[in-house]
Amino acid sequence: MLTASEKRFIKNWEEQRQGGKVKYYLLYIFVGAFPAILVLSFLASMFGAFNKLWITIPLSFAVSTSYTIYTWNANEKKFKAIIQREIKEGMLRDEGEEKLTS
């Protein structure tokens, strides 16, 4: 039986994955790079590395890319686990109903 949060997750993840992995990656890498640039720039200024923008921008894209790939894989794994569990529970339910009707 699906919980409310699992139903929400499945609905949202099916919408996200409809566009495909490439569109997901492009969107979230660029969207995630902006806050990563801000955070890394702040951290660089805190440690006295002021004019290091040439390192900050590629590093923020690398962080954003790795987090996006991790998130896609984790969500796919969770999605498939939920679906497999529901299929298995459905098969067990069907077997139980067959035994009752036989």
pLDDT digits (tens, 9 = 90+) for 42-100: 888 888 766 677 788 899 999 999 999 999 999 999 999 999 999 999 888 887 776 66
Residues recorded for the chain: 102
pLDDT value for 75: 97
First to last CA, the chain: 25
pTM of this prediction exceeds 0.85: no
List the domain boundaries for the chain.
Answer: 4-101
Interaxial angle between packed helices 21-46 and 4-18, expressed in degrees from 0 to 180 and rounded to the nearest 10: 100
